[in-house]
């Protein structure tokens, strides 16, 4: 029974804790890290409210300490994916009909649980499972996830409030129904917040969800699921399954009740999914919603008027925080020849001070890359650069996987603006720089725009306002998130809605109203109070 219209005002962003020496949060986080290190977690799938264990397990190990076993998860088969779809569909009617304020209460409670009781759990799990330092874990798994949950409740309440006008004698209204079927959420390794947002944003709109995380993110995904259950999420609304991506895709994309995919990950995987959905389009009850945020080749363009110190810091943080494993990471930079030497020396000096190692030592800025496959791929780019006359390594270039998947922050300088590492997404701690003639700014703008297939993030560093204006205009389609005098990473929910176009995705801006609209199917209802009783128009009476 709905007894009122309830408001959910815009929340404030969750404050970022410092974890400074002597702070209570530092002690709490250290304690939780030790507790996780002392146990071996046995992580089930969650299907229809039941914990499902198959006995076929996959080990989970910190990327920075591969000899240590954190635990294992239970791998699912075809039957588990089918069970997850069935559980979702069985939960659909009751969930879709639940009053909005009851649904909202579950996600707001989950946000508060993460902000308090489970803050150190989710951060410690992300630090151990995904090799993030405390600051990177805090801004992702605590703050961004909390913000996604709270802001989406606010945005959805704003959408529900939007109603059509009504002429005299009638009442028009708009219902924002969930999609007819189930939504598949497929989430990446690199952000715990994204893993939490993709299933919950669709579920918040009244949809039921099958959620498949990346294997390398399962350790923290398990905590998200436990929090949602404790917050009161009914059985079957979100079903968490671990099975190979292609297997999940094959089953879900062949199901007539498939209603949408909420994906974040690489461009190649998304394009394969889109093709499969296209081939199966005749099978579905409705046209599925296809939402995908994918790869990037994010640029930093430095103008001759820039402050060299600001440019060097934007590159150091933008390229190497979380080992460059952010879709937004600066991976190609364009330096004007009047400032290039100064920027390079400042950047190289900064990199020399960056410590690399385990996430349990809070003084390490750089940790390990996610897994061996990724390590080998990044190392190959570095080896190729060492041999190529068009490239020179001016910082880093070493790597070692004996203890963990460690790769030094590496800067490649190239004489070719189309060198392979200026064009392809590497997804690791590798920045390539190219020096251009400072007076050929117009030409370099064309190069920046046309070098890569992606258009996710980018930055202009300049003091000259005409240069900023020109870059903002000429690079209008080169990035979905554009930064002026800042690094191209670190978008905050509610402040910089995030997403890119071209090969970087459908630009449905996670953590904004635009994204939530994709999980709703509106129904217009017109009610006439005194209906007509005669079909004749007045002019028919003239004759």
Ligand X SMILES: N[C@@H](CCC=O)C(=O)O
Residue 16 CA, chain-centre distance (Å), reads 18
Q: Is the Cβ of residue 213 or residue 397 nearer to ligand NAD in the bound state?
A: 213
Chosen from ligand X, ligand NAD, none, partner binding at 246 (C-beta under 5 to 8 Å by type): ligand NAD
Q: Are strands 170-178 and 238-240 parallel, antiparallel or unpaired?
A: unpaired
Which partner, ligand X, ligand NAD, none, binds residue 489 by CB below 5 to 8 Å per kind? ligand X
Geometric angle at alpha carbon 115, from 109 and 119, rounded to 5°: 120
What are the start-end ranges of the E strands in 373-449? 391-395, 399-400, 406-407, 410-414, 430-436
Number of other residues whose CB lies within 10 A of the CB of residue 20: 9
Nearer to ligand NAD, 106 or 269 (CB): 269
> For residue 125, what is the DSSP state?
H
Give me the least distance between CB of 376 and ligand X, in Å please: 21
Q: Which stretch binds ligand X (CB under 6 A): 227-235, 323-331, 401-409, 527-535?
A: 323-331
SS3 assignment, position 368:
coil
Q: Which is nearer to ligand NAD, 319 or 343 (CB)?
A: 319
Q: Is 197 in the site for ligand X (CB under 6 A)?
A: no
Give which of ligand X, ligand NAD, none residue 491 binds (C-beta under 5 to 8 Å, depending on kind).
ligand X
490 binds, among ligand X, ligand NAD, none (CB under 5 to 8 A by kind): ligand X
Name the binder of 272 from ligand X, ligand NAD, none, CB < 5-8 A by kind.
Answer: ligand NAD
Choice from 120, 191, 211, 436 touching ligand X (CB under 6 A) = 191
- Give min distance, CB of 269 to ligand NAD, in A: 4
**Closest by Cα among 5, 14, 24, 29 to 134:** 29
Q: Which is nearer to ligand X, 187 or 410 (CB)?
A: 187
Shortest CB 243 distance to ligand NAD, Å = 9
CA distance 428 to 175: 45
Query: Site residues (CB under 6 A) for ligand NAD?
Result: 186-191, 194, 212-214, 245-246, 248-249, 264-266, 269, 272, 293-296, 327, 425, 427, 456, 498, 500, 504-505
Beta strand 391-395 pairing with 410-414? antiparallel
Stretch that binds ligand X, among 111-119, 266-274, 428-436, 487-495 (CB under 6 A): 487-495
* Residue 84 vs 378, nearer CB to ligand X: 378
Tokens at residue 21, please? 């020496």
295: partner contacted, choices ligand NAD, ligand X, none (Cβ within 5-8 A by kind): ligand NAD
Helix (H, G, I), strand (E, B) or coil at 102: helix
Which position among 396, 490, 494, 505 is part of the footprint of ligand X (CB under 6 A)? 490
- Nearest distance, CB of residue 128 and ligand NAD, angstroms: 17
Minimum distance, C-beta of residue 494 to ligand NAD, in the bound complex (Å): 16
Query: Cβ atoms within 10 A of the Cβ of 527, count?
Result: 11
What, of ligand NAD, ligand X, none, does residue 346 touch, CB below 5 to 8 Å by kind?
none
Q: Does 489 bind ligand X (CB under 6 A)?
A: yes
Phi/psi for 43 (5° steps) reads: -105, 120
- Rounded Cα distance, 412 and 217, in Å: 30
Rounded distance between C-alpha atoms, residue 105 and residue 118, angstroms: 18
Shortest distance, position 458 Cβ to ligand X, whole Å: 12
CB of 508 to ligand NAD, least distance (A): 10
Euclidean distance between CA atoms 82 and 104, whole angstroms? 28
**According to the binding rule CB under 6 A, does residue 198 interact with ligand X?**
no
Binding partner of 28, given ligand X, ligand NAD, none, CB within 5-8 angstroms per partner class: none
Q: Per CB under 6 A, which region of 250-258, 339-347, 401-409, 485-493 contacts ligand X?
A: 485-493
**Which of 182, 381, 399, 498 is the binder for ligand X (CB under 6 A)?**
498
Contact status, residue 140 vs residue 511, Cβ threshold 8 Å: no
Q: How far apart are CA 531 and CA 193, in angstroms?
A: 51
Closest CA to 71 of 217, 241, 220, 219: 219
Q: What is the DSSP string of 108-148?
A: HHHHHHHHTTTHHHHHHHHHHHH---HHHHIIIIIIIHHHH
Please list the active-site residues: 293
Beta strand spans in 371-477 (E): 391-395, 399-400, 406-407, 410-414, 430-436, 454-455, 457-461
Work out whether 327 is an interface residue with ligand X (CB under 6 A). yes
From CA 299, how far away is CA 294, in angstroms rounded?
A: 16
Q: How far is the CB of 442 from ligand NAD (least distance, A)?
A: 29
181: left (phi over 0), alpha (psi -120 to 50) or beta: left
Closer CB to ligand X, 391 or 459, in the complex:
459
* Residues paired with 264 in a beta bridge: 293
Residue 208's binding partner, choosing from ligand X, ligand NAD, none, with beta-carbon cut-off 5 to 8 A by kind? Answer: none
Contact call for residue 491 and ligand X (CB under 6 A):
yes
Residue numbers at the binding site for ligand X (CB under 6 A): 190-191, 326-328, 489-491, 498
């Amino acid at each position: 029974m709905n007894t009122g219209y309830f408001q959910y005002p815009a929340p404030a962003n969750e404050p970022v804790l410092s974890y400074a020496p002597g702070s209570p949060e530092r002690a709490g986080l250290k304690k939780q890290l030790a507790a996780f290190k002392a146990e071996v977690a046995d992580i089930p799938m969650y299907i229809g409210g039941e914990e499902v264990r198959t006995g076929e397990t996959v080990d989970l190990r910190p990327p920075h300490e591969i000899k240590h076993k954190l635990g294992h998860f239970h791998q699912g088969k075809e039957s588990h994916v089918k069970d997850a779809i069935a559980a979702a569909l069985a939960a659909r009617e009751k969930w879709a009909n639940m009053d909005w304020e009851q649904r909202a209460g579950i996600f707001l409670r989950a946000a508060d649980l993460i902000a308090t009781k489970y803050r150190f759990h989710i951060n410690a799990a992300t630090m151990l499972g995904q090799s993030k330092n405390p600051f990177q874990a805090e801004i992702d798994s605590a703050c961004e996830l909390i913000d996604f949950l709270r802001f989406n409740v606010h945005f959805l309440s704003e959408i529900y409030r939007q109603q059509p006008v009504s002429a005299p004698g009638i009442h028009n209204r708009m219902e924002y129904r969930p999609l007819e079927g189930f939504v598949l959420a497929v989430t990446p390794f690199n952000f715990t917040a994204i893993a939490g947002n993709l299933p919950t944003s669709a579920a918040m709109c009244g949809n039921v969800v099958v959620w498949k995380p990346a294997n390398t993110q399962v350790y923290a995904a398990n905590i998200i699921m436990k929090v949602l259950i404790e917050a009161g999420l009914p059985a079957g609304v979100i079903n968490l399954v671990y099975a190979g991506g292609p297997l999940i895709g094959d089953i879900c994309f062949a199901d007539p009740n498939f209603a949408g995919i909420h994906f974040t990950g690489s461009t190649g995987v998304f394009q394969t999914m889109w093709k499969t959905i296209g081939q199966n389009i005749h099978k579905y009850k409705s046209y599925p919603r296809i939402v995908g945020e994918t790869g990037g080749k994010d640029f930093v363009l430095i103008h001759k008027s820039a402050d060299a110190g600001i440019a060097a810091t934007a590159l150091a943080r933008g390229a190497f925080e979380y080992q460059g494993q952010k879709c937004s990471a600066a991976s190609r930079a364009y330096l004007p020849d009047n400032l290039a030497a100064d920027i390079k020396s400042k950047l190289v000096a900064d990199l020399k001070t960056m410590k690399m190692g385990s996430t349990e030592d809070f003084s390490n800025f750089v940790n390990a890359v996610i897994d061996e496959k990724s390590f080998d791929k990044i190392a190959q780019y570095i080896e190729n650069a060492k041999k190529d006359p068009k490239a020179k390594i001016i910082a880093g270039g070493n790597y070692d996987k004996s203890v963990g998947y460690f790769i030094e922050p590496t800067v490649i300088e190239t004489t070719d603006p189309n060198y392979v590492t200026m064009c392809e997404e590497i997804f690791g701690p590798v920045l390539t720089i190219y020096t251009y003639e400072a007076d050929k700014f117009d030409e370099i703008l064309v190069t920046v725009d046309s070098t890569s297939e992606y258009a996710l993030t980018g930055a202009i560093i300049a003091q000259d306002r005409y240069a900023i204006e020109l870059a903002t205009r000429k690079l209008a389609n080169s990035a979905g998130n554009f930064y002026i005098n800042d690094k191209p990473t670190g978008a905050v929910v509610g402040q910089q809605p995030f997403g890119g176009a071209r090969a970087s995705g459908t630009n449905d801006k996670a953590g904004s109203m635009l994204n939530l609209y994709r999980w709703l199917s509106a129904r217009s209802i017109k009610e006439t109070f005194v209906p007509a009783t005669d079909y004749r128009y007045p002019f028919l009476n003239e004759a």
